[in-house]
């Protein structure tokens, strides 16, 4: 499986120098080099607890993705004032700054799995199409393939963009959308009986449309803004410090494990909530 890559603009800032040498931290066979290591930085007392939780969740997500991807060594460096990623000592490919786009011809799909840092725009309605836009010399680093009924979007190699990489997807029907990582996704025109949304990491998802049943799960510090996606029955599970916004007209089942919040629009006749932590389930207008 290709090694992971992230855009420099979406990576967390480097930890302050502690005056010592770089130390590595390993997880699942991956070696991460960061000045003073992750555990060597003591944040000031004024840092809010939620920020600490956000940093911890983002770190755990990064470590999990690296182990899942099978990378043997990942190093963080500064390049022209920005943070970039080296994967397995591969040189960083810098974007040309020349915008370009390419259409991809792929088999039909009803599910989407985003496993990279590229932003994705999904429009439900019309025939299948996939277009990748960004620096002309980086387009080949964005891999799109169909596994079963799932469109998989991944990155290959190490790179830094000058023109944002964006993947535009159109399909007749969307049954499930999963985001692993720090990307942003916008889903529009959703129609159907049931939709599943899964967010693992620090990315954000926005969605609009109407479905009968919505099932959403957030693990980490990411946010799922689904308040414009009207649903009759909603099941929402939040594990971490992220937030979930939904719109439920008949039934809402909400579960929180952590410090995040679940906010809902509408007046569902059936409401069941379970909170383990400091998060809240609250109604909004």
Mean of per-residue pLDDT scores for the chain: 80
DSSP for the chain reads -PPP---GGGSPPPPPP-SS-EEEEEETTEEEEEETTGGG----TTS-HHHHHHHHHHHHHHHHHHHHHT-SEEEEEEETTEEEEEETTPPPEEP-S-EEEEEE-----SEEEEESS-EEEEEESSS-EEEEEEETTTGGGEEEEEETTEEEEEE-S-EE-SS--EEEEEES---EEEEEES-EEEEEEEEEEEEEEEEEES-EEEEEEEEEEEEEEEEES-EEEEEEEEEEEEEEEEEES-EEEEEEEEEEEEEEEES-EEEEES--SEEEEEEEES--EEE--
* CATH architecture classification, 99-283: 3 Solenoid (2.160)
Banded model confidence at residue 91, pLDDT cuts 50, 70, 90: confident
pLDDT at 73 (0 to 100): 52
Mean pLDDT value of segment 87-93:
70
pTM greater than 0.85 (yes/no):
no
pLDDT in tens, 125-135: 999 999 999 99
- In this predicted structure, what is the pLDDT of residue 90? 64
How high is the pLDDT of residue 263? 99
In the chain, % of residues over pLDDT 70: 68
Higher-pLDDT residue of 164, 250: 250
pLDDT of residue 79: 52
Q: How do the domains of the chain map onto residue ranges? A: 8-91, 99-283
What's the pLDDT tens digit per position in 149-164? Answer: 999 999 887 888 899 8
Q: 273 pLDDT band (50/70/90 cuts)?
A: very high
Q: Which of 63-77, 79-93, 219-233, 270-284 has the lowest mean pLDDT?
A: 63-77
pLDDT reading at 26 higher than 80: no
């Amino acid at each position: 499986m290709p090694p992971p890559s992230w855009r420099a603009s979406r990576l967390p800032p480097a930890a302050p120098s502690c005056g010592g040498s770089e130390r590595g931290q390993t997880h699942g066979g991956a070696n991460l080099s960061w000045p003073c290591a992750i555990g060597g930085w003591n944040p000031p007392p004024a840092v809010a607890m939620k920020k600490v939780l956000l940093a911890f969740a983002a770190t755990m997500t990064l470590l999990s993705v690296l182990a899942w991807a099978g990378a043997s060594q990942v190093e963080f460096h500064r390049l022209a004032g920005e943070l970039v990623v080296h994967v397995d000592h591969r040189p960083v490919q810098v974007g040309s700054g020349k915008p370009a786009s390419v259409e991809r011809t792929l088999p039909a799909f009803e599910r989407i799995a985003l496993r990279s840092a590229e932003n994705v725009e999904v429009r439900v309605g019309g025939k299948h199409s996939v277009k990748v836009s960004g620096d002309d010399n980086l387009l080949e680093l964005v891999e799109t393939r169909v596994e079963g009924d799932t469109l998989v979007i991944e990155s290959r190699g190490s790179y830094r963009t000058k023109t944002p990489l964006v993947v535009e997807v159109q399909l007749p029907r969307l049954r499930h959308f999963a985001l692993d990582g720090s990307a942003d996704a916008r889903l529009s025109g959703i129609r159907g009986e049931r939709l599943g949304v899964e967010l693992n990491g620090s990315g954000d998802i926005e969605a609009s449309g109407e479905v009968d049943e919505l099932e959403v799960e957030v693990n980490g510090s990411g946010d799922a803004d689904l308040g414009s996606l009207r649903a009759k029955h909603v099941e929402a599970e939040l594990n971490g410090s992220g937030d979930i916004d939904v719109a439920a007209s008949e039934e809402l089942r909400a579960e929180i494990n952590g410090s995040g919040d679940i906010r809902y629009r509408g007046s569902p006749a059936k409401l069941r909530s379970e909170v383990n932590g400091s998060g809240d389930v609250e109604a909004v207008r």
